[in-house]
Amino acid sequence: MAWTNTILRINLTTGTIAKEPLNKEWAQDYLGQRGLATKYFTEEVSPTVDALSPENTMIFATGPLTGTMASTGARYSIICKSPLTGAMACSNSGGYFGAELKSAGYDMVIFEGASPSPVYLSISDDDVELIAADDLWGKTVWEADEMLHKKHQDPALKVAAIGRSAENGCLYAAVVNDLHRAAGRSGVGTVMASKNLKAVVVRGTKGVGNLFDAKRFMTSVADEKKVLAENAVTGEGLPALGTQVLMNVINEVGALPTRNMQEVKFEGASKIGGEAMLEPRESDGKPNLTTNAGCFGCTIACGRISTVDPTHFSVKDKPEYHKNSGGLEYEAAWAVGADTCVDDLDAATYVNFLCNEDGFDPISFGSTVAAAMELYEIGAIKPEETAMPLDFGSAEALVWCAEQVAQGTEFGKILGMGSKRMCEHYGHPDLSMTVKGQEFPAYDPRGIQGMGLAYATSNRGACHLRGYTVSSEVLGIPVKTDPLHTEGKADLVKAFQDATAAVDSAGLCIFTTFAWGMDNISPQVDAACEGNWSVEKLLEVGERIWNMERDYNIKAGITGEQDTLPKRLLKEAAKVGPAEGRVADLDKMLPEYYSVRGWTPDGVPTDETRSRLNLA
């Protein structure tokens, strides 16, 4: 019933492959994908394991709506302990890979242990095997993808792979599927490399069926697709401009972190935003954006397919980068653009290509480069360490840095530590713009107060995808709240966090929630899945997931003390814009948040809360 009821368990140490039935009782409590895989993970893996040891487990998980006709039913997540944060990692990706895995007949794949030598996992419906990958090791994601397609003689094969950055220990390495969709955050690619697992390739021909009430599901899916189509954000803004629709909007509200978050407004924002991607360039008359693209089943199609200007310095002599590939999303454009003060759209696009080609997170990368530029500015990074001055605004420096991380050179390994460890390495920990070791995304909490609380309390470190209150505070969805007010933000953050956990766990994309409330999602889940999936039930599942993740983190040593923000955001006021004079007023929101959550003043879920949510 929407679930395939089969999971694959791969022990990489022994090379054994086993199929086992899904725990249906857990599925009723945790739904699927993020929630259900985290349940398996927390039951099986000690919170104190070293993230890069064989004792860490890594789970590829689909949701009950993955691979169905529900709009955006493309998503899968990778769950493990993060080497970047030491906390739960759950990194979500689209493309076609997740639906293919579901169509092959699996709700999830659990990887235990570590292979003694490089391998990849091949899944072709019921046929599953580990295959030697010595020839693939040391290759980029794009090279590995091409080699695997050739080897399997199957153009429809779906590939998820790691690149050289992961192999070289970059702590924010991603797993990239379908060439440019990524489980990008928290270093899930680094964990995959530690297991000597280069790739997972899937061919699924079984399809997804056996829905609880297929007729009701089809009616509901058609109705809700209409809601997406008629909404201004999901029906117009996102298809036309992608997430890059936000660049100028966020800059205008004075919440675009700039210069390693020293400032909240970027002069060059309009040069790197969604509108700029549509402007024909001088050299060949083409715009940066070729077309928009949808993931499997997605009727929004926010994806960007772009080219770099072939005459641009970064690719001038590299025809292999003149083709189309995955273009800039807002978070990536911000990180490699505004935060480093680089207003060069082509440099940013090329760097984004490199992030996909060698599998590293553009958010963490860009933010780490911004920190490196500040370290360079104050003389902590010496000119002899770099091939050129690491000046803010230097597109050449940005491109050079990306090539270093991609190739895993000496300085590339320093950048590959991430902002926190790099700033500690140079003796300036305060210059790292991170929470729990993970770099910020593109919303300054001085200008959008709720996001400060969302960042500080996120279970995977600074992240916009755990509680996107920007929706309410800036876009007015579902209701407008004042981004500069702290009142009511505790409730708002909790509501977004719980709802997001449920949406993720269904296998849907969080972008649907610009148009959909839980009352649009519930009928689809309820028709597809056995059991009662009312709005209340989904929100309860979301809250349960949030508390489960929190519990694991606390046991891993990540407590309420780490629910904080860098000093810069708490002490240095915004200099311009609507938030001028404001800092992130976290202390005004955090105690209330703990109370709303049913946690102790130290941020620990109380026994009462645990028992209410049926958590052991």
Residue 152: both structure tokens together: 């399997």
Residue 200: both structure tokens together: 């997972």
The CB-of-560 to other proteins minimum distance in angstroms stands at 43
The CA radius of gyration of the chain, in Å to the nearest whole number, is 22
16, 18, 44, 207: which one binds other proteins (CB under 8 A): 207
> What residues from 95 to 124 belong to the interface with other proteins (CB under 8 A)?
96, 103
Nearest to other proteins of 293, 503 (CB atom)? 293
Choose the binding region for other proteins from 30-38, 63-71, 82-90, 428-436 (rule: CB under 8 A).
Answer: 63-71
Nearest to other proteins of 335, 529 (CB atom)? 529
Beta bridge partners of 59: 79, 110
Q: How far apart are CA 15 and CA 364, in angstroms?
A: 33
Q: How many residues form the binding site for other proteins (CB under 8 A)?
A: 38
Q: Does 271 bind other proteins (CB under 8 A)?
A: no
Q: Does 152 bind other proteins (CB under 8 A)?
A: no
Nearest to other proteins of 139, 464 (CB atom)? 139
Report the Cα–Cα distance between both ends of the chain, in Å, rounded: 27
Q: Does 345 bind other proteins (CB under 8 A)?
A: no
Measure the CA angle with vertex 425, ends 423 and 429; round to 5°: 35
The CB-of-416 to other proteins minimum distance in angstroms stands at 28
In the DSSP assignment, the letter for residue 487 is T
8, 51, 176, 298: which one binds other proteins (CB under 8 A): 298
Choose the binding region for other proteins from 66-74, 359-367, 531-539, 541-549 (rule: CB under 8 A).
Answer: 66-74
Q: Does 486 bind other proteins (CB under 8 A)?
A: no
The CB-of-145 to other proteins minimum distance in angstroms stands at 10
169, 294, 393, 598: which one binds other proteins (CB under 8 A): 294
324, 407, 520, 559: which one binds other proteins (CB under 8 A): 324
Beta bridge partners of 305: 291, 326
Choose the binding region for other proteins from 321-329, 386-394, 413-421, 571-579 (rule: CB under 8 A).
Answer: 321-329
| Dihedral of the alpha carbons of 323, 327, 328, 332, in degrees to the nearest 10 | -90
Choose the binding region for other proteins from 52-60, 284-292, 331-339, 467-475 (rule: CB under 8 A).
Answer: 284-292
Neighbour-count burial of 179, counting CB atoms closer than 10 A to its CB (0-12 exposed, 13-18 middle, 19+ buried): middle
Beta bridge partners of 51: none
Q: How far is CA 304 from CA 34, 299, 402, in A?
A: 25, 14, 20
| Strand 6-11 with 108-112, pairing | parallel
Choose the binding region for other proteins from 290-298, 383-391, 517-525, 582-590 (rule: CB under 8 A).
Answer: 290-298
- In this structure, the number of other CB atoms found within 10 A of the CB of residue 156 comes to 12
The CB-of-209 to other proteins minimum distance in angstroms stands at 4
Amino acid at site 73: G
The verdict on whether omega for the bond into residue 239 sits within 30 degrees of 0, i.e. cis, is: no
Please name which of 11, 8, 197, 20 lies closest in space to residue 108, comparing C-alpha atoms: 8
**Interacting residue ranges for other proteins, rule: CB under 8 A:** 67-69, 71, 96, 103, 156, 179, 205-209, 214, 218, 222, 225, 228-229, 239, 290-299, 301, 303, 305-307, 323-325
